[in-house]
Structure 1
Amino acid sequence: MAASTFWLPLHPTKWLSSALSLLLVSIMGKPVGLQGVQVTVCSQLGAPSNRGVFQDGDVIIGGLFSLHYIPSAVEQVYTRLPHYEPCCLIHYDFFSSCGLSLELQALKYMYAMAFAVEEVNQNSALLPGIKLGYHILDSCGRYPWALQSALSLVGGDRHNCNLTPVPLLIGGHASTTGVILSRILGPLSVPVISYLASCPCLSDRSNFPNFFRTIPSDIYQARTMAQLAIRLNWTWIGAVLANNDYGQMAIQVFQEEIKGKRVCLEFIETVHRETIVSDARRVALTIQSSTATVILIFCWYTDVQKIFVELAKRNVTGRQFLASEAWSTSDDLLQDITISKVASGVLGVAIRSSTIPGFENYLKKLSPSHYPNDDFLREFWEKEFGCSVVNASHNISTSSHVKKASLPPCSGIESINEVQHFFSDITQLRVAYNVYLAVYAAAHALHSLLSCPSGNIPPQNNLSSCSSPKHIRTVELLQHLNTVNLTTPQGEVLYFQGGDPPAKYDLVNWQNTPKGTLKLVVVGHVDGFDLHLNESAIQWSTGSNQVPDSVCSKSCPPGTWMADRKGEPVCCFDCFPCAEGEISNKTDSLQCEQCPSEFWSNAERIACIPRQLDFLSFNETLGITLTTAAVSGVTVTTAVFVVFLFYRQTPMVRANNSELSFLLLLSLKLCFLCSLVFIGRPSVWSCRFQQAAFGISFVLCVSCLLVKTIVVLAVFRSARPGAETLMKWFGPGQQRGSVCFFTCIQVIICVIWLSLSPPRPQSDLGFQGSKVTLECTMESVVGFSLVLGYIGLLACTCLLLAFLARKLPDNFNEAKLITFSMLIFCAVWVAFVPAYISSPGKYVVAVEVFAILASSYGLLLCIFAPKCFIILLRPEKNTKKHLMAR
């Protein structure tokens, strides 16, 4: 609960001297029990200042509730002693001028304590044979009177000291009160059990060893609100907080919880109780201009009301407020129609509620006739029913004489059943249930202290036991309270961890009603660090069932990654798509992940899929084109072969070495056919055969041309005198032998290469793409280089010889045709090398096939096209006379 900054105020001399007397007694070594200091306290407290409710018993526990509230009318300064209005006195004439209104919520808390004490007394298993009593005083919501009342309870009766001092105190409506009471009563080891002080500072056992509470520390509610923001994906939030320890601590814990979760605070606004009007106006303007739609508020409910009023004036709606427990269950806010439009959909953390069976009937049976000494009940009665309650023993009412004359006497048939407000409403028992738990914690500690072990069973936890109800040592009671572990009649388990109970909260939602007001609906709960939220039951501020967005930047969908904006909070970012081969399969990925080598990213970049197997196929356009070119080459070569075969007796065919021409046409056909081996899915045998077929076919082809060129040179050399014997070395047998010799060398190279390190099919993962290329890899680059090198050597030799024979006198010199064909051949294969090295994937194979077809077509057309032209279209030139003409 919200508490002001913790300070120990200056107090009037009387009760300050009382406090010092108590401290002196404890320091000087007086007994730890309270009887030894009773006289001193009674003599120092002076005149009575509070009214109270008392029920006798074997053991009396104290209760301190803020039943009246004294507003601060005078600004306190440090140049003189502070002035405090007195709390309402028991003298009725003074009470008439007190002018304080009774706090009905605190009144319900008081009766929750009285009911719990009665329930404990009816429980035969708890404190058997011992009647529990209580002494309850009013602190009037001010620290000086809270301390004075506490000292009165601890020291005994203020009037005549006939009452037994209380060994335990239930009270402290605020954290500041808890700090003061714990520090003053700590040297006496008097336990203080608070039902509403939630400051985390009170968890420090070294400073507050005698402090306990039945409300969780504010640390847990700040953590819960951070968990809500993270769970609901609210990454851009505004914060409004009270400028005190409550607000500052809460926002500090909240920021620690969201650290590293990419949740940011767009703004943090603070409000002061003294300047709430201007602060509320400033906060409303900030919220109105903010891009954050979720606003976190750690303030007291009166401050929140001022802020909501300012927002209503500006018609600022659609903001989703996150409420702390200080105002999440405020009935004043829920019933305020002027702010209902602004406050609709509030989601908040609340003190957990529980039922107290029998408490409703207890409240309904309350009546001044049954409790004639209950001043607070009489005051409540007169206010609610507008009648004067006469105290039979004093024959006067609690009101002034003037007021008494104006109010009719009560008939005695009035009943709380007629009251329609939250005093009689037991559907949401929160703080009252904390009071109820505090009584049970005190009862179980007393039960443990006053119980004697049976037989020879040693006391547990090294704690002394079997104390007398009249001689309770507070230090021993404090030890037993530290070890309390109980289960209430409602099944609630309570124990203290360093004075704190287990963290339990309700999650509440403010929903619209037909009357225009708001109602409180429980939509979840928190147990420790476990958050349970029923999102479908929430009515959001937007009126929709969808969780509202509150982000600086929209979430990056899968397939993209977040790039922070320079100079802006981490919640503000841009989204960029993942590169090829990378994926992000979740929202708001900080980076993309590289796919494994056998996989590739899909089109959406959200999943890695197996890379498609890619090779030069007969079914694709490129494969069909190359296949068509190869088949066409085979067809043309066959056609030329047929023409040469049909006209084999003509001078044109016979003059150009018909045997070598037929062998050349056969080798060209093999060159065209070997290109088809490169197309299709590579296999072990296709990889080996394609390179061998390519190398041998081209060597056979070039060998024929080389021999042809040598024959041409030999023929013209033999025509010279003295060179007749030269043709003997280049006869038909020698020509066939030469071609076979040159070809066998290539066959030997291929056999050795394929035996030692043959090409084999392998997936090429080096090319980054959605496809993985299946190709024949060269295990031995040396072998492939020797095959190409040998072909190049023969081609260069043939080109050189043909170039030398190009100008030999003849009407049809075949050396010219060989020269042109070898120029084309060499040009193609020289260009092949860089193209082969730089081509990616299956295009490597396409480049090689293209080189084979281009060079084959070059040889075929350059050598045989002119001859076929003469044979078919110029037969008159196909004569010996024409060929021999110079």
Structure 2
Amino acid sequence: MSPWLTWQRATVPLVLTCLLRDAGVVQAAVCSRWDHSVELDDYHLFQEGDVLIGGLFPIHNLPPAPDLSFTRPPHLQSCLNGLIEFHPFWSYFQGAMLKHAYALVFAVDEINRNPFLLPGVRLGYRILDSCSQHPWSLRGALTLVSGGKLTRISGHPVSVVIGDSASTSTIILTKTLGPFGEPVISYQASCACLSDRRAFPNFFRTIPSDVYQARTMARLAQRFGWTWVGAIVADNDYGRQAIQVFEEEIQGTGLCLAFFETLSRENLEMDVKQAVDVVQGSTARVILVFLWYTDTEALLMELVRRNVTDRQFLASEAWSTSVDLLRNPALFTVALGVLGVAIRSAPINGFEAYLRSLHPSRRPRDALLRELWETEFGCSLGAEHANTQNTSLLPSVVESSFTDTSQLRVTYNVYLAVYAAAHALHSLLSCPNKDSRNITKLFHNKHYSECIYVNFTTRLGKMFYFTGADIPAVYDLVNWQATPQGFLKLVTIGRVEPPNLFINESGIQWNTELNTVPVSVCSESCPPGTRVANRKGEPVCCFDCIPCAEGEYSNTTGSLHCEHCPLEFWSNNHRNACVPLQPEFLSFADTMVVTLTVVAVCGALATAAVFVLFVYHRHTPLVRANNSELSFLLLLSLKLCFLSSLMFIGRPSVWACQIRQVAFGVIFVLCLSCLLVKTIVVLAAFHSARPGAGQLMRLFGPSQQRGSVFLFTSVQLIICVVWLSTSPPMPYHDLGVKGSKVVLECAVGSVAGFSLVLGYIGLLASLCLLLAFLARKLPDNFNEAKLITFSMLIFCAVWVAFVPAYVSSPGKYADAVEIFAILASSFGLLLCIFIPKCFIILLRPERNTKKHMMAK
């Protein structure tokens, strides 16, 4: 069981008895039996007055070893200077604490001289040492509020307690004194939990809540890109509440706690070693420290011993302005560059002169001032020195921390607390139905909160008021920078006035070789073109960087997701931007298109050559025997077929998409119509020799042949007109194909229209093939039906294969398939029908006679 719990269990029943102010003799008797520690009160400051203000300050910081023998009632001994053994700057601590105490004294004297504030009422004070420990703090508070005996002095209870410095001690005091209506105004207890008015209705403070400095530290981490932060905090309400607020503030911001260690003063050495082990093993380079400055010193000294000098510390207000740490040369390499949140600094007019005037010879009963001098100068002031007016040592003491008023932070909070209490009392004295006969009990009225309304202007022209238990949050941002003498100095580099944060980043000195902002991340930020992929079972700050997929991009650092590129855009090679898709279509720059173009031109030229040859030999039997007019029309249509394939090349446009399919459909029907009519004429010519068949030949004369070709072609033309009128082919950007290109093609529009066009061509081709096949064995030395049969077999085979190839071919290759089908079928017709005739005309002219043509 800890000494605190042991002491508490033994004394709680007696504490409540002592708090019964109206118990009279019983109170005095019981309290005197309980509290024999009157020597504790030798270290005090006291001044009588109509109303007393109590003060608790941690003048010393370490109690003696407790007596756990349980052979006698618990007895608290005087506190010790626990830092003497290992701390060369004890005087700075004691001087700073005494400066806080004398700020209360100075404020009381200043108020008593003010004729407008508390006129007719003289304030007094009673100040005790809280020893930085809970039992001593509570004992001192009970002594103050009970009016217990002090050495050589007895007085009435205090009306308000100003203190303590530690949050946990203040919580204990407030909870203990709350039921009796005793107001507590703290100058340094910053735990956020104390803002709860239901739990602590009698509590006020002149320091902002830790909520705001924890939020400020979170904002600093965000501002400098520190996503991987460690934390070392005091194992009490101050530290745990602060880290809880910090964790709440960083939720959803991408910041994480790399580790969280606590230090308790009872096991400080062991806890420090464990915390430093964690610091050494962690990759976090920024460490948040919420500790009292003496605990921070133990931590930093252990880091120095292990030569851990590459850490950036975020300091809480409890140690960010500590003169002891700043003037310790051993901490230079570790503490250089500390960035901290500090209580705002403000001057107190006349306070420095007041401190310089203090001397043991002028205050012979002031044991605290005597101890300060003895510690400062290493001498013993005897009684003969106490009663002298010798001030020869005065010039030396003014150079100590006791008279240093350049950075009045906590001291100014004490000063404000006294003025807040005075203005609250002034308001109470102005309340109606007050009991003016006993003003010392005004603060303890059940309804004291109804009358306490503090709102005044300080001597600096600033408005002071409470919002609940708190005051508006204002902080300084400080930085520990090197001096030429090898020490560290405190430099203010910004301020915080929530929600605003003002900081001069160029004025910060960092603990890095190039004075650059330290980097503290679990994983380096993902560059543009990648996204964050969290590692399973690890904090969100630890992640891998995954490249964005094709068609996605990220153009910011640390992107959580890759965005899809807009339509007609595609991600570049680095996946950090979207670029317009490269249009893909059959262009004359493609090798394949050049080949198809050459083939088409060659086909057209070959057809033209055949046409010229037939024109030149138009009077020969071979040309005349097979209906020269239809042959010329067939050659013309074949030439157009070759040339129509070129219309599928080039960037699709509305005009090109519509004309290419119509031209293809009509020209091929014209070609097939000529072949069909020629086949019918062949069949009619051979069947006209039979008896009674003469009328058949007359039905297929030249005019009827031309009419039939026109009729067959008109049907296709009508189909095309209807197709174009309802749902014509249109340019289409095909974005469904993955890649950095967009396919420009012609959508057929109406599938039914396109199917009818192809179907009609297929119908004519099938009919022509059937008739030619039936006429292939007719007796003739030159039977054109055989040639038509072969040509139509090739034609049908090509277009039957075209359908699945066209459907399965992506993008521009579908157009290439159609061009190939046009050229293949056109060459099939040209080669199978006209090349044998050209062979006879050019190489076998003896066969180009009527006699030979008529022979069987």
Q: CA deviation at 1:212?
A: 1.6
Flag the 1:122–1:148 CA change in 2: closer, same or farther, 3 A: same
Among 53, 59, 72, the residue aligned to 2:45: 53
For the pair 1:103 / 2:108, whether they are aligned, the reply is no
- Mapped to 2, the partners of 1:719 and 1:24 lie a distance apart of 147
Residue of structure 2 in register with 1:92 after alignment: none
Q: CA deviation at 1:697?
A: 0.7
Residue of structure 2 in register with 1:94 after alignment: none
Flag the 1:17–1:235 CA change in 2: closer, same or farther, 3 A: closer
Flag the 1:504–1:798 CA change in 2: closer, same or farther, 3 A: same
- Mapped to 2, the partners of 1:205 and 1:529 lie a distance apart of 23
Residue of structure 2 in register with 1:151 after alignment: 142
Residue of structure 2 in register with 1:696 after alignment: 666
Residue of structure 2 in register with 1:126 after alignment: 117
CA displacement 1:634-655 (0-9 Å, x = unmatched): 3332222112112222333223
For the pair 1:448 / 2:427, whether they are aligned, the reply is yes
Other structure's SS at 2:404 match: coil
Other structure's SS at 2:527 match: coil
Deviates further, 300-309 or 78-87: 78-87
Flag the 1:297–1:631 CA change in 2: closer, same or farther, 3 A: same
The residue correspondences of 1:270-419 to structure 2 (distance < 5 A) are 270-385=262-377, 397=386, 411-416=390-395, 419=398
CA displacement 1:621-678 (0-9 Å, x = unmatched): 6655554544443333222211211222233322333211100011122223333444
- Mapped to 2, the partners of 1:465 and 1:263 lie a distance apart of 55
Contact 1:189 1:474 in 2 (8 A): yes
Other structure's SS at 1:239 match: strand
Contact 1:190 1:478 in 2 (8 A): no
The two structures have a TM-score, normalised by structure 1, of 0.85
- Mapped to 1, the partners of 2:512 and 2:93 lie a distance apart of 38
Which AA in structure 2 matches 1:648? R
Other structure's SS at 2:287 match: strand
CA displacement 1:166-209 (0-9 Å, x = unmatched): 21121212223323332333233121111122333433333332
Residue of structure 2 in register with 1:660 after alignment: 630
- Mapped to 2, the partners of 1:748 and 1:427 lie a distance apart of 102
Contact 2:314 2:338 in 1 (8 A): yes
Q: CA deviation at 1:164?
A: 4.5
Residue of structure 2 in register with 1:426 after alignment: 405
Contact 1:19 1:184 in 2 (8 A): no
Q: CA deviation at 1:438?
A: 0.7
For the pair 1:10 / 2:7, whether they are aligned, the reply is yes
For the pair 1:742 / 2:742, whether they are aligned, the reply is no
Contact 1:69 1:103 in 2 (8 A): no
CA displacement 1:705-752 (0-9 Å, x = unmatched): 112222333344445677565433333233222212211221222223
Residue of structure 2 in register with 1:137 after alignment: 128
Other structure's SS at 1:444 match: helix
For the pair 1:576 / 2:546, whether they are aligned, the reply is yes
- Mapped to 2, the partners of 1:553 and 1:717 lie a distance apart of 93
Q: CA deviation at 1:598?
A: 5.2
The residue correspondences of 1:57-96 to structure 2 (distance < 5 A) are 57-74=49-66, 76=68, 82-86=74-78
Q: CA deviation at 1:107?
A: 0.6
Which AA in structure 1 matches 2:7? L
Residue of structure 2 in register with 1:456 after alignment: none
RMSD over aligned Cα, in angstroms? 3.7
Q: Percent identity?
A: 61
Flag the 1:187–1:276 CA change in 2: closer, same or farther, 3 A: closer
Q: CA deviation at 1:43?
A: 9.8
Contact 2:675 2:768 in 1 (8 A): yes
The residue correspondences of 1:205-216 to structure 2 (distance < 5 A) are 205-216=197-208
Contact 1:449 1:466 in 2 (8 A): no
Other structure's SS at 1:50 match: helix
Flag the 1:690–1:396 CA change in 2: closer, same or farther, 3 A: closer
Flag the 1:133–1:23 CA change in 2: closer, same or farther, 3 A: closer
Q: CA deviation at 1:67?
A: 2.0
The residue correspondences of 1:181-196 to structure 2 (distance < 5 A) are 181-196=173-188
Q: CA deviation at 1:419?
A: 4.3
Contact 1:50 1:87 in 2 (8 A): no
Flag the 1:186–1:266 CA change in 2: closer, same or farther, 3 A: closer
Q: CA deviation at 1:235?
A: 2.3
Flag the 1:819–1:537 CA change in 2: closer, same or farther, 3 A: farther
Q: CA deviation at 1:54?
A: 3.0
The residue correspondences of 1:443-522 to structure 2 (distance < 5 A) are 443-451=422-430, 467=436, 470-475=439-444, 478-479=448-449, 482-522=452-492
Flag the 1:356–1:642 CA change in 2: closer, same or farther, 3 A: farther
- Mapped to 2, the partners of 1:867 and 1:717 lie a distance apart of 24
Contact 2:230 2:260 in 1 (8 A): yes
- Mapped to 2, the partners of 1:759 and 1:572 lie a distance apart of 54
Contact 2:648 2:660 in 1 (8 A): yes
Contact 1:449 1:480 in 2 (8 A): no
Contact 1:325 1:351 in 2 (8 A): yes
Flag the 1:8–1:530 CA change in 2: closer, same or farther, 3 A: farther
Contact 2:193 2:241 in 1 (8 A): no
Contact 1:559 1:585 in 2 (8 A): yes
Among 13, 18, 23, the residue aligned to 2:19: 23
Residue of structure 2 in register with 1:455 after alignment: none
Other structure's SS at 2:7 match: coil
Q: CA deviation at 1:80?
A: 7.3
Flag the 1:79–1:773 CA change in 2: closer, same or farther, 3 A: farther
Q: CA deviation at 1:436?
A: 1.4
Among 801, 805, 829, the residue aligned to 2:799: 829
Flag the 1:115–1:609 CA change in 2: closer, same or farther, 3 A: farther
Contact 1:388 1:410 in 2 (8 A): no
**Structure 2 unaligned residues grouped into runs of 5+:** 81-89
Among 151, 166, 169, the residue aligned to 1:177: 169
Contact 1:450 1:468 in 2 (8 A): no
Flag the 1:627–1:230 CA change in 2: closer, same or farther, 3 A: same
Flag the 1:628–1:522 CA change in 2: closer, same or farther, 3 A: farther
**How many aligned positions are there?**
843
Contact 2:91 2:372 in 1 (8 A): no
- Mapped to 2, the partners of 1:75 and 1:568 lie a distance apart of 48
Flag the 1:397–1:617 CA change in 2: closer, same or farther, 3 A: same
Flag the 1:17–1:103 CA change in 2: closer, same or farther, 3 A: farther
For the pair 1:437 / 2:429, whether they are aligned, the reply is no
Residue of structure 1 in register with 2:558 after alignment: 588
Contact 1:68 1:101 in 2 (8 A): no
Flag the 1:860–1:205 CA change in 2: closer, same or farther, 3 A: same
Contact 2:731 2:747 in 1 (8 A): yes
Contact 2:56 2:161 in 1 (8 A): yes
